[in-house]
Chains A and B, each alone.
Chain A
Amino acid sequence: MNSPRVYQTEAIVLKRIKLGEADRILTLYTPSLGKIRAVAKGSRRTTSKLGGHVELLTHSQLMLARGRNLDIVTQAQTIDNFLALKENLDKLSFGLYISELVDSFTPDHVEDRRLFNLLLDTLQQLTQDKDASSILRYFELRLLDYLGYRPQLRQCANCGSPIKPAVNSFSSKHGGILCHDCGYQEPSARSLSLNALKVMRLWQNCEYSTALRVRIDSKLASELEKVMREYIKFLLEKQLKSTEWLDKLKRDSSLQLRENAGTENRQQM
């Protein structure tokens, strides 16, 4: 090894697990080293100088020292702690979903600066009061794009014939849209409305600012969520654990809305 003994990097904390008495192993996403893991010694003590700087979903400047096995965080300074995200249960849950998604899809030590920037932008977007479901879907599409799983949406992913402007179907197995005939023959494909297709096509090729300008009603949002979740599940060969929690939050809040509409009593902290 001829790399320097200590090095600096920016990082976003994706995950942390307890280690021994007061330490943690962090999973970090960095701009130039990709996903790495490092030990934050003593970070569980209340008087730790790392503590809040290496908390989950925090963007920090880190100094690391090469360790025998895992590298060790020696200094940390927060760049952005996305406080607004952490003080709202829904936003925080979306953030946790995003971090699980990145952690599940990325291999260790593979640099992808675009992905780092996307992750940073997405957390930033989530702190603002914007349509969170659009943010998540846009993030998923772009993430898959960068990782080489960009769904084929321009022509039939099976026979290559052009797609007619009508209801078509999406096949996770084929990684894209199927024309009417091919969709008919693929039992695992699910129907995809023209609006959903249009939105997905747009999001594949636009910036955040454009993506969030599209108005999406709840029916379309739920269709997009189902398509993307199925595709992601197919690619990962597992369901992401935090989706269960997101579903529960959604159920709870719709229940709450119905109750509030009935009794008109509003609660606040």
Chain B
Amino acid sequence: MSADFTPTAKPIARLIEEFNKLPGIGPKSAQRLTYYILRAPAVEAEALADAIRTVKEKVALCSVCYNITDTDPCSICQDSERDHSVICIVEEPIDIIPLERTTKFKGLYHVLHGVLSPSDGIGPEELKTRELLARLNGGSVTEVILATNPNVEGEATAMYLQRLIAPLGLRITRLARGLPYGGDLEYADDVTIARALEGRQEM
């Protein structure tokens, strides 16, 4: 045995090491998880192993909208009830969840898988922009909704996409930027208030 501490059985050490690689899992948590698995019934451990394997084998990106899916095209793109002429562009797959929760949006999505960030070296080539253009060139889309985050990178991405898409002559819209529900006017920043004023509505 070497001088540094290793648990008795090699398989245990191996599992601890694998858990340790996960985000937010330190060596102690990794040990705890490993010993939990060790004591758990075999079915439970099998279920975990199987879930991990399936996620890697079955889940892929939709070839149309690049959302994470287990069918291709994904269930949203396949849905004939939805409006296939409107595409909502989001940064990450996770951004689709809140939009879907509203049940207000009946169009399709396009996931960029990132956002322009020049100082991190992330340009349009790193995002699904070429795929977006190809899709829009298909001709059935009439409106594009830019739903990138209302921050510097998200705005930069929206402005860039606007430049890119403008020649196609489609309707390009941006999600309204204003005061958040449950927020407090006192703490809102100037940009938000200015935009909320610009976008004020008759009631």
Contact = CB atoms under 8 A, between A and B. Distances in A.
Interface of A: 15, 46-47, 49, 51-53, 55-57, 78, 81, 83, 86-89, 92-93, 96-97, 99-100, 103, 240-242, 244-246, 248, 252, 267-269
A52 B159 contact: no
A52 B156 contact: no
Interface stretch (B27-35, B132-140, B190-198): B190-198
Nearest to B120: A241
A206 B78 CA distance: 64
Interface in B116-144: 116, 118-121, 123-124
Contacts, number: 84
Interface stretch (B12-20, B60-68, B162-170): B162-170
Contacts of B192: 51-52
Interface stretch (B41-49, B81-89, B103-111, B180-188): B180-188
6 contacts: A49-B184, A49-B187, A57-B152, A83-B194, A241-B121, A267-B166
A81 B188 CA distance: 13
Given A47-B182, A52-B191, A86-B155, 16 more contacts: A46-B183, A55-B189, A78-B190, A83-B190, A83-B191, A89-B156, A89-B160, A97-B118, A100-B118, A241-B119, A241-B120, A244-B118, A244-B123, A245-B116, A252-B163, A269-B162
Contacts of B153: 56
Interface of B: 116, 118-121, 123-124, 151-153, 155-156, 159-160, 162-163, 166-167, 172, 180, 182-184, 187-192, 194
A53 B116 CA distance: 21
Contacts of A49: 184, 187
B117 to A, nearest CB: 8
B119 A242 contact: yes
A81 B150 CA distance: 14
A93 B119 CA distance: 9
A248 B123 contact: yes
A185 B192 CA distance: 58
B180 A46 contact: yes
Contacts of B120: 241
